[in-house]
Amino acid sequence: MTENYLDLTVDEVYDVITNINVWPKGFTKEMKIKFINQMINHFEEREEYEKCAELHTIVQRLEDSQQNIGRSRIEPN
C-alpha cells in the first residue's frame, strides 16, 4: 500500500515539474538535477520511459543553462 502512495506522490511531483515548473524556494540547479535524476530512476523501474525522456530533457536544459552563466547572448559578427 505504501508503494501506491509513493507512486502517486512522484506522479504529482512530475506533473508540477513538467507542467507548472514550480520548485521550493532555495532549490539550486544542482539540487533540481539530482532530484530529477532520482525521479528518472523511479520511472525507469516502473518502465514509464516517456516520463523519463521528458525529465531528461529538463535536466539537459538545466545543465545547458549552467554552462551559459556569464556568457553574453549577443552573437559575434
pTM (predicted TM-score):
0.78
CA–CA dist 71, 22 (Å, integer): 26
- Cα–Cα separations (whole angstroms), residue 70 to 27, 30, 63, 74: 20, 17, 14, 12
Q: Could you read off the pLDDT tens digit of each residue along the chain, which spans 77 residues? A: 566 898 999 999 999 999 998 899 999 999 999 999 999 999 999 999 999 999 999 999 999 986 654 444 444 43
**pLDDT value of residue 77:** 38
**What are the residue ranges spanned by the domains of the chain?**
2-67
**pLDDT value of residue 1:** 59
**pLDDT value of residue 73:** 44
